[in-house]
């Protein structure tokens, strides 16, 4: 018989994703140890954007899909900027 492990509830933070072109802002609540790819894909789905043509930037640094808020030392209400790549594959292309 398998024993059930008790898991502590995961700490979550609120992040804001902004689009500099239309000044839009989406708010997400995400676990601090969840890959940011989940947020990135959802943002693109909501906005009907191609994931491979968009870059996500936090504090001037491109975010990789497998990074987590904890790894980037993000805090509540931090802002992630998005920019549309012009004519080249973004950092999300082929990154896993």
> What would the pLDDT profile of 4-47 be if each residue is shown by its tens digit?
565 666 799 999 999 877 777 999 999 999 999 999 999 999 99
**Domain boundaries, position 26:** 12-84
Which token pair is 24? 């839009």
What's the total number of domains in the chain? 1
Q: What is the dihedral of CA 43, 46, 15, 26, to 10 degrees?
A: 130
Number of neighbouring beta carbons within 10 Å of residue 46: 11
Instruction: Please give the pLDDT value at position 92.
Output: 53
In whole angstroms, how large is the CA radius of gyration of the chain? Answer: 15
- Is 90 a domain residue? no
Tell me phi and psi for residue 52, to 5 degrees. Answer: -75, -10
- Gap between the Cα atoms of 49 and 78, Å rounded: 22
Q: Does residue 96 register a pLDDT over 50? A: no
Q: Does residue 64 register a pLDDT over 70? A: yes
Instruction: Please give the pLDDT value at position 23.
Output: 75
Q: What is the rounded average pLDDT of the residues 56-68?
A: 97
- Is 96 a domain residue? no
Beta strands 78-84 and 12-19, pairing class: parallel
């Amino acid at each position: 018989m398998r024993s059930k492990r008790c898991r502590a509830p995961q700490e979550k933070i609120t992040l804001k994703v902004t689009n500099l072109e239309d000044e839009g802002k989406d708010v997400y609540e995400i676990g601090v140890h969840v890959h940011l790819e989940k947020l990135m894909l959802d943002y693109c789905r909501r906005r009907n954007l191609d994931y491979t043509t968009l870059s996500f930037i936090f504090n001037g640094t491109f975010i990789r899909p497998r990074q987590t808020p904890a790894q980037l030392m993000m805090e509540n209400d931090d802002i992630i900027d998005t920019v549309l790549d012009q004519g080249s594959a973004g950092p999300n292309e082929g990154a896993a």
